[in-house]
Structure 1
Amino acid sequence: MTRPRPHGPRTGTADTVGSVGEFGVIDRVVARAGTAAAAEVGPGDDAAVVRAPDARVVAACDVLVEGRHFRRDWSSPEDVGHKAAAANLADVAAMGAVPTALLVGLACPADTPTAWLEGVATGMAEECAPHGAAVVGGDTVASAPGSDAVVLSVTALGDLQGRAPVTRGGARPGDVVAVAGRLGWSACGWAVLRRGFTSPHAAVAAHRRPEPPYAAGPAAADAGATAMCDVSDGLLADAGHIADASGVVLHLDRGTLESFVDPAGPLAQVAAAVGGNPLGWVLTGGEDHALLATFPAAADLPAGFVRIGVVEDGAPRVLVDGVGAADVAEGLGEGAGHVHF
Structure 2
Amino acid sequence: MRHHGRTSSNAIRSAGVFTPEPGLGPETRSPNINLEVPISTPPATVSGRSSDRRTLAEVGEFDLIDTVTAHGQQPASTILGPGDDAAIISAPDGRVVVSVDMFVNGVHFRTDWASGEQIGRRAALASLADLAAMGAAPTAMVIAISAPADTPAELIEGIGRGLHEVAAQVGAGIVGGDMTRSDVLSIAVTVMGDLQGADPVLRSGAKPGETLAVAGRLGWAAAGLAVLSRGFRSPMVMVSAYREPQPPLVAGITAASFGATSMIDISDGLLADVGHIAAASHVAINIRTAALDLHPRLVEVASALGKDAMTWLLTGGDDHALVATFPAGSAMPPGFTAIGTVTQGSGVTVDGAPFDGPAGWDHYR
TM-score with structure 1 setting the length: 0.91
Give the corresponding residue for 1:103. Answer: 142
State the alpha-carbon separation in 1 of the partners of residues 258 and 114 from structure 2.
37
Q: Could you tell me how far apart the structure 2 residues matched to 1:233 and 1:37 are?
A: 34
Aligned to 1:306: 337
- Residues 201-238 of structure 1 show CA distances to partners (whole Å, capped at 9, x for unaligned) of 00000000000000010101100000000000000000
Mapped to 2, the partners of 1:340 and 1:34 lie a distance apart of 35
SS in 2 for 1:294: strand
Q: Distance in 1 between matches of 2:82 and 2:211?
A: 43
* Matched length: 323
Deviation at 1:14, TM superposition (A): 6.0
- Alignment partner for residue 177 of structure 2, among 131, 138, 157? 138
Kindly state the Cα deviation for residue 19 of structure 1 after the two structures are TM-superposed: 1.1
1:319 aligned partner, one-letter code: T
Give the counterpart letter for 1:207 in structure 2.
Answer: Y
3-state DSSP class of the match of 1:323? coil
**TM alignment of 1:55-204, pairs within 5 A:** 55-143=94-182, 147=183, 149-204=184-239
Contact 2:214 2:336 in 1 (8 A): yes
Moved more, 237-246 or 117-126: 117-126
Q: What is residue 36 of structure 2 aligned with on the other side? A: none
Show the counterpart of 1:278. 309
Aligned to 2:299: 268
Unaligned runs of 5+ in 1: none
Secondary structure of the 1:232 match is coil
| Structure 1 residue 40, shift from structure 2 partner | 1.1
Partners of 1:199 and 1:32 lie apart in 2 by: 34
Q: Amino acid of the residue matched to residue 291 of structure 1?
A: L
Residue from 348, 354, 365 that aligns with 1:318: 348
- 8 Å Cα contact 1:32-1:121 kept in structure 2: no
Identity among equivalent positions (%) equals: 51
Could you state the TM-score of these two structures normalised by the residue count of structure 2?
A: 0.85
Tell me what 2:250 maps to: 215
Shift of 1:27: 2.2
Match of 2:274 in 1: 239
Q: Give me the whole-angstrom Cα distance separating, in 2, the residues matched to 1:286 and 1:80.
A: 17
Q: Which amino acid aligns with 2:261?
A: T
| Pair 30,61 (structure 1): closer, same or farther in 2 beyond 3 Å | closer
Q: CA deviation at 1:276?
A: 1.0
Matched residues in 1 for 2:92 and 2:174: separation?
19
| 1:168-208 Cα shifts (integer Å, max 9, x gaps) | 00000011000000000000000000000000000000000
Query: Which residue does the alignment assign to 1:254?
Result: 289
Counterpart in 2 of 1:29?
68
Contact 2:70–2:82 at 8 Å: present in 1 too? no
